[in-house]
Amino acid sequence: MKLQVRHAGGELTVGSQKEFLVLWQRGVIASDDMVRREGQERWTAAGELPWIRGMKLDARRDSRRLLWLTVLLMIVGLLAALWIQGRAPQVARRSAAHPPGAVRAVPR
């Protein structure tokens, strides 16, 4: 199925839907470019095509998931840093039990 694409630079004929999707992902075809199938009279905006609309929704959902994952990992990192800061005095007291220059030869 050949597709004709009309954009600001002129017209472009795309050999298949797969090729169209590659051009869409690379940014050659924008959402406001007009598209029609060969043999049809009606032009449609590229962003309104069903398979493009589905890709946009999936990308938006993935972006939102990535955002929340990043926020969650930042909170976990902050809590870990606060926990380590709270435990630092206890660790320092334990390590001060040995005289300066002493080496522990046997692990506890």
Nearest-angstrom CA–CA distance, 13 and 16: 9
| CA-closest candidate to residue 27, choices 49, 46, 44 | 46
When pLDDT is cut at 50, 70 and 90, the band that residue 108 belongs to is low
- pLDDT at residue 91 above 80? no
- Of residues 53 and 84, more confidence is placed in 84
Q: Which residues is 34 bridged to in the sheet?
A: 6, 45
- Of residues 50 and 43, more confidence is placed in 43
Q: Please state the pTM of the whole predicted model.
A: 0.47
Q: Residues 1-43: pLDDT tens digits? A: 788 888 877 888 888 888 888 888 888 888 788 888 888 888 8
Instruction: Count the neighbouring beta carbons within 10 Å of the beta carbon of residue 25.
Output: 10
